[in-house]
Amino acid sequence: MFEDAEEAELRKHLSGVPLLNRLRVVERLRNQRIGTALVRAAEQVVRERGHAQLALGIGLDNADAERLYLRLGFAEWPHGLVDTYYMVFKDEREVREPELCRILVKELNQEMPLKRD
C-alpha cells in the first residue's frame, strides 16, 4: 500500500512509507521460500518507486511471520503496539475486526544480495 495508513500512529511516524499488507502463503506451501520471494519482490517494487523504507504490521500471535520478517532484516519500531483492524465478511457484509499489531520497518537503502540455494 503506497497511501498513508488510516491509523494515526502510522501516519505520524511512517508518513510516506509503503506498507506491506496481508501477505499470506497457503499453509501447505509454507517453508518453501515463497514468503521470502514475495517479500523481496515487494521490496524491489518499493525501491523502484523511490522509497527507502518498507513497513508492516503483524498480529501478536503470528510468531512464524515475525521470524520471517526479522530474518529478512525488518526491525520492530520504537513506538509500541498499534491498534489496527482487518476486514472479514460476516452475514454477507464486510466488518472491521480489531487487531493489536507489532510494527516492523526495514531500511531499503542498500540492495540485499540474493541468496542462492
What integer pLDDT is reported at residue 110 of this predicted model?
A: 56
DSSP H helical segments within 15-94, as ranges?
Answer: 34-48, 63-71
What integer pLDDT is reported at residue 43 of this predicted model?
A: 95
Say which residue the cell 540455494 belongs to.
117
What integer pLDDT is reported at residue 99 of this predicted model?
A: 86
What integer pLDDT is reported at residue 111 of this predicted model?
A: 53
103 touches 77 (CB < 8 A): yes
Q: Structural domains in the chain?
A: 8-107 (3.40.630.30)
What integer pLDDT is reported at residue 117 of this predicted model?
A: 41
Instruction: Copy the grid coordinates of residue 18.
Output: 509503503
The span from the CA of 89 to the CA of 91, in Å, is 7
Query: Could you read off the pLDDT tens digit of each residue along the chain, which spans 117 residues?
Result: 888 888 888 989 999 999 998 888 888 998 889 999 999 999 999 999 999 999 999 999 999 999 999 999 999 999 999 998 777 888 888 888 888 999 999 999 755 444 444
Burial of residue 106 (CB within 10 Å: 0-12, 13-18, 19+) is: buried
